[in-house]
């Protein structure tokens, strides 16, 4: 009978020890889970930041008459003049009147700065003159509006022609007009059939 009591006591002790180990193990697991959850909560979510940063950047391609043509990474709200500045500014042959410098640029936009001799907005047959069918313009006597009838001649070049006449006298030949600022061989070839001295 005494042996049975001892057996019962041993069994109770074993049971208590097993339950104690099990309880301690569960408590430790719960604590680890809580700590892991706390660490995950504290970690910043960088995926949103990366997306926002990518969206705010744009790439613009600028070519033509700028000193450093190429692709430039910019932020939003940039204008054409900002891109021209990034590209080193205009070259001497840039036609600054051919583009809206105040316009906002768009992502993946291609901006082309034209050469002053390429800015031909008028058709070659657009010259109108009612003087008995004579469509030749006298570059020694024509005023600004008459000169602007020539293919590729705008306000700036027309004024340059008039200024050249005032400073150097009348043109001796039509070829002499190539001495005028911003008139090169290419533009001269387009207008030579319509001018005289």
Angle at 185 between CA 181 and CA 186, to 5 degrees: 105
76, 109 in Cβ contact below 8 A?
no
- % residues pLDDT > 90 (the chain): 37
Q: In angstroms, rounded to a whole number, what is the distance separating the alpha carbons of residues 63 and 110?
A: 8
- 31 has pLDDT over 90: no
Q: Kindly state whether residue 122 falls inside one of the protein's structural domains.
A: no
Q: Which residue has the tokens 């001018």?
A: 195
Per-residue CA distances from 21 to 14, 32, 38 (Å): 11, 17, 26
Least confident window among 4-18, 21-35, 132-146, 166-180: 21-35
124, part of any domain: no
Q: In total, how many domains does the chain have?
A: 3
Whether the predicted pLDDT of 173 surpasses 80: yes
Q: Quote the pLDDT of residue 137.
A: 93
Quote the pTM value. Answer: 0.38
Q: Predicted confidence band at 33 (pLDDT cuts at 50, 70, 90)? A: low
DSSP for 17-48, written as a single string:
HHHHHHHHHHHHHHHHHHHHHHHHHHS--HHH
Q: What angle do CA 122, 181, 110 make, to 5 degrees?
A: 55
pLDDT for 57 equals 84
Query: CATH no. for residue 168?
Result: 1.10.150.310
User: 28 is in which domain, residue-wise?
Assistant: 1-43
């Amino acid at each position: 009978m005494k042996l049975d009591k001892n057996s019962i006591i041993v069994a109770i002790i074993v049971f208590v020890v097993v339950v104690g180990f099990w309880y301690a193990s569960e408590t430790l697991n719960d604590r680890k889970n809580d700590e892991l959850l706390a660490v995950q909560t504290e970690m910043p979510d960088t995926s949103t930041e990366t997306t926002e940063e990518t969206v705010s950047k744009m790439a613009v391609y600028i070519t033509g008459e700028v000193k450093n043509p190429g692709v430039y990474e910019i932020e939003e709200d940039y204008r054409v003049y900002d891109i021209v500045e990034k590209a080193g500014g205009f070259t001497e042959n840039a036609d600054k009147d051919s583009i809206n410098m105040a316009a906002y640029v768009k992502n993946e936009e291609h901006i082309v700065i034209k050469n002053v001799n390429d800015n031909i907005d008028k058709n070659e047959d657009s010259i109108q003159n009612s003087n008995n069918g004579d469509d030749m313009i006298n570059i020694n006597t024509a005023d600004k509006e008459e000169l602007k009838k020539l293919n590729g001649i705008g306000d700036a070049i027309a004024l340059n022609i008039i200024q050249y006449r005032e400073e150097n006298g009348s043109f001796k030949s039509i070829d002499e007009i190539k001495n005028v600022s911003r008139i090169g061989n290419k533009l001269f070839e387009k207008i030579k059939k319509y001018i005289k001295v």
